[in-house]
């Protein structure tokens, strides 16, 4: 392997000398550039710190801890191993003696343990017997969820995540006697929320009729009385729902325009004031600031924000986790549709990407653009339905050319 940037040569013991602090900082900077991580050197240091405190730790564990995409973490780990900073243990990444000395000398690492609560794992709440029973039931219902539609950024949160969402809303007093609206619900969070028996009313709006039909069936079976409404969120809510709700929950597309749109529909449901729970992806600081500006411009205050609260099944690009924010608003404002780019609502529209998948049965490789072909619908000529992503490339200028 070539040294990143101007260091030249191969990464081996005779040519790689990072004992000087400036050389080490330069190495980290060029490593960040090599893997194209938006957070830069801070992201690399975060990975190194995670391993220092939690070793041995898996690539997935690092991704969830740092909130960085799994492919980025995998590349960084691979380079650090070839640079002799890390070595591979059967249980995950660990430091070599050389690597440990480097980070202790140059980054001044000293804390060899993580202080997050091992019981709640940073969520700040635990499930009592009532919610544990709800979780037991919800795990079975979660198995019935339809295949995700990646064109509209659907991804399934774990059943535990849905129940913890209901639990934190209950704990904060946002379910008992409240009218609750779900702006989209591909995670079925409405089910454990209604199972508590706390809300006065639960309404779910979604464009996916498969989800609405499933929620209807579960609601009837459990006697939950959930109302479902087919809703294209590019259109305003029916006026009868305006100002009707106390609490809104939404997990919108992870784009700025998607955020504006779904929050605006939530504001319609709340009216002048209320509480909105927002699940959203972890972003580089520049994008976080824009998210904060959008939220503030609508007269919401971020009362709480819990990183890594939501865990998803197989969403490696977002590190399998997103944050949960509790927004409290007064004199609320919404964005008009003309202030939102409705052609840039979904991730594939903002950052189009080509992915190449290899059939695990015969080895044939398929190109998936997420528009004409999505991986959920892919079936190989040999009949195989299981694939592994082997390559991904961003599409330049939205043209389809690489």
- Determine, yes or no, domain membership for 81: yes
Which of 61, 91, 106 corresponds to the end of one domain? 106
Q: Are residues 327 and 359 in the same domain?
A: no
Rounded distance between C-alpha atoms, residue 260 and residue 264, angstroms: 6
Rounded distance between C-alpha atoms, residue 129 and residue 116, angstroms: 23
Residue tagged 């690539």 (tokens): 59
Rounded distance between C-alpha atoms, residue 81 and residue 77, angstroms: 6
Could you tell me the residue range of the domain that residue 290 belongs to? 129-339
What pLDDT score was predicted for residue 319? 55
- Determine, yes or no, domain membership for 113: no
Q: Are residues 139 and 273 in the same domain?
A: yes
- The CATH number given to whatever domain includes residue 209 is 3.40.50.150
Q: Are residues 393 and 319 in the same domain?
A: no
Rounded distance between C-alpha atoms, residue 274 and residue 259, angstroms: 18
Rounded distance between C-alpha atoms, residue 224 and residue 196, angstroms: 9
Rounded distance between C-alpha atoms, residue 391 and residue 295, angstroms: 36
Q: Are residues 156 and 13 in the same domain?
A: no
- Determine, yes or no, domain membership for 16: yes
Which of 314, 339, 364 corresponds to the end of one domain? 339
The per-residue DSSP string of 358-373 comes to: EETTT--EEEE-SSS-
- Successive 10-residue mean pLDDT values, the chain, 402 residues: 39 56 91 92 96 94 89 94 92 95 94 89 94 98 87 83 98 98 97 98 96 98 97 97 98 94 98 98 90 98 96 67 96 95 75 74 78 69 75 56 29
What pLDDT score was predicted for residue 399? 37
Residue tagged 């041995």 (tokens): 56
Q: Are residues 31 and 72 in the same domain?
A: yes
Is the pTM higher than 0.75? The answer reads yes
Q: Are residues 167 and 261 in the same domain?
A: yes
Q: Is 109:48 a contact under the CB 8 Å cutoff?
A: yes
Q: Are residues 358 and 335 in the same domain?
A: no
Q: Beta strand 92-95 with 387-394: parallel, antiparallel or unpaired?
A: unpaired
The neighbour count for residue 139, using CB atoms within 10 Å, is 14
Q: Are residues 311 and 381 in the same domain?
A: no
Q: Are residues 166 and 35 in the same domain?
A: no
What pLDDT score was predicted for residue 2? 35
Q: Are residues 92 and 183 in the same domain?
A: no
- Determine, yes or no, domain membership for 123: no
The number of folded domains in the chain is 3
What pLDDT score was predicted for residue 384? 81
């Amino acid at each position: 392997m070539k040294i990143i940037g101007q260091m030249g040569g191969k990464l081996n013991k005779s040519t790689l000398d990072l004992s000087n602090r400036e050389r080490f900082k330069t190495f980290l900077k060029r490593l960040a550039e090599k893997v194209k991580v938006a957070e830069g050197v801070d992201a690399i240091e975060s990975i190194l710190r995670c391993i220092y405190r939690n070793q041995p730790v898996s690539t997935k564990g690092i991704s969830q801890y740092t909130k960085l995409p799994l492919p980025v973490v995998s590349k960084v780990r691979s380079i650090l191993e070839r640079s002799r900073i890390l070595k591979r243990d059967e249980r995950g990444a660990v430091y070599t003696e050389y690597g440990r000395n480097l980070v202790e000398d140059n980054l001044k690492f000293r804390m060899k343990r993580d202080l997050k609560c091992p019981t709640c794992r940073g969520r700040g709440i635990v499930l009592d017997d009532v919610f544990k029973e709800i979780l037991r039931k919800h795990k079975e219902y979660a198995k019935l969820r339809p295949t995700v539609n990646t064109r509209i950024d659907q991804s399934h949160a774990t059943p535990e995540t849905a129940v913890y969402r209901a639990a934190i809303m209950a704990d904060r007093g946002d379910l008992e006697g409240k009218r609750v609206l779900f702006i989209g619900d591909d995670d079925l969070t409405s089910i454990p929320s209604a199972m508590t028996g706390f809300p006065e009313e639960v309404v779910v709006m979604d464009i996916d009729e498969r989800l609405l039909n499933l929620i209807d069936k579960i609601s009837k079976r459990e006697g939950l009385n959930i109302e479902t409404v087919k809703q294209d969120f590019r259109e305003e809510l029916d006026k009868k729902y305006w100002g009707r709700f106390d609490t809104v929950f939404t997990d919108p597309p992870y784009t700025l325009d998607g955020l504006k749109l779904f929050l605006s529909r939530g504001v319609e449901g709340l009216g002048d004031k209320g509480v909105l729970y927002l699940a959203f992806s972890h972003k580089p600081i520049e994008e976080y600031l824009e998210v904060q500006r959008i939220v503030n411009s609508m007269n919401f205050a971020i009362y709480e924000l819990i990183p890594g609260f939501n865990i998803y099944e197989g969403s490696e690009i977002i590190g399998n986790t997103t944050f949960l924010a509790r927004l409290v608003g007064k004199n609320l404002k919404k964005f008009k549709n003309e202030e939102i780019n409705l052609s840039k609502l979904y991730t594939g529209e903002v950052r189009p990407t080509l992915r190449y998948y290899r059939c695990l049965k015969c080895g044939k490789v398929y190109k998936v653009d997420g528009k004409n072909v999505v991986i959920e619908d892919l079936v190989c000529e040999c009949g195989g339905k299981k694939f592994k992503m082997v390559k991904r490339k961003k599409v330049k200028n939205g043209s389809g050319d690489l």
